């Protein structure tokens, strides 16, 4: 079974996030990835080109960033 991709206006929060509200949410966009504060959903967001986001997430997975970033 093939799953449909999520709508472009869907924001995601990590399953590792707690319910304390101190999280970020991510949304896939045509031009890249948007990131916002989960406590301020109506506030501004920061956008990154796909390649920059890919480099960032690979650095996290590879342990190339310090534990407290």
pLDDT at 49: 95
Cα dihedral sign, 4-33-62-17: negative
pLDDT digits (tens, 9 = 90+) for 11-64: 888 777 777 767 889 998 888 999 998 888 888 899 999 999 999 999 988 988
> Which domain, by its residues, includes 57?
9-13+23-69
Would 54 be classed as within a structural domain? yes
Would 28 be classed as within a structural domain? yes
Would 27 be classed as within a structural domain? yes
Residue 6 confidence (pLDDT) above 70: no
Q: Rounded to an integer, what distance in angstroms lies between the CA atom of residue 21 and that of residue 13? A: 10
Would 34 be classed as within a structural domain? yes
Residue 7 confidence (pLDDT) above 70: no
Beta bridge partners of 4: none
pLDDT at 8: 59
Q: Rounded to an integer, what distance in angstroms lies between the CA atom of residue 62 and that of residue 28? A: 22
């Amino acid at each position: 079974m093939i799953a449909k991709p999520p709508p472009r206006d869907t924001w995601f929060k990590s399953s590792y996030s707690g319910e304390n509200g101190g999280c970020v949410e991510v949304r896939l966009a045509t031009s890249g990835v948007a990131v916002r504060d989960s406590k301020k959903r109506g506030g501004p967001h920061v956008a990154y080109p796909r390649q920059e986001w890919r480099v960032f997430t690979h650095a996290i997975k590879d342990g190339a960033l310090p534990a407290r970033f």
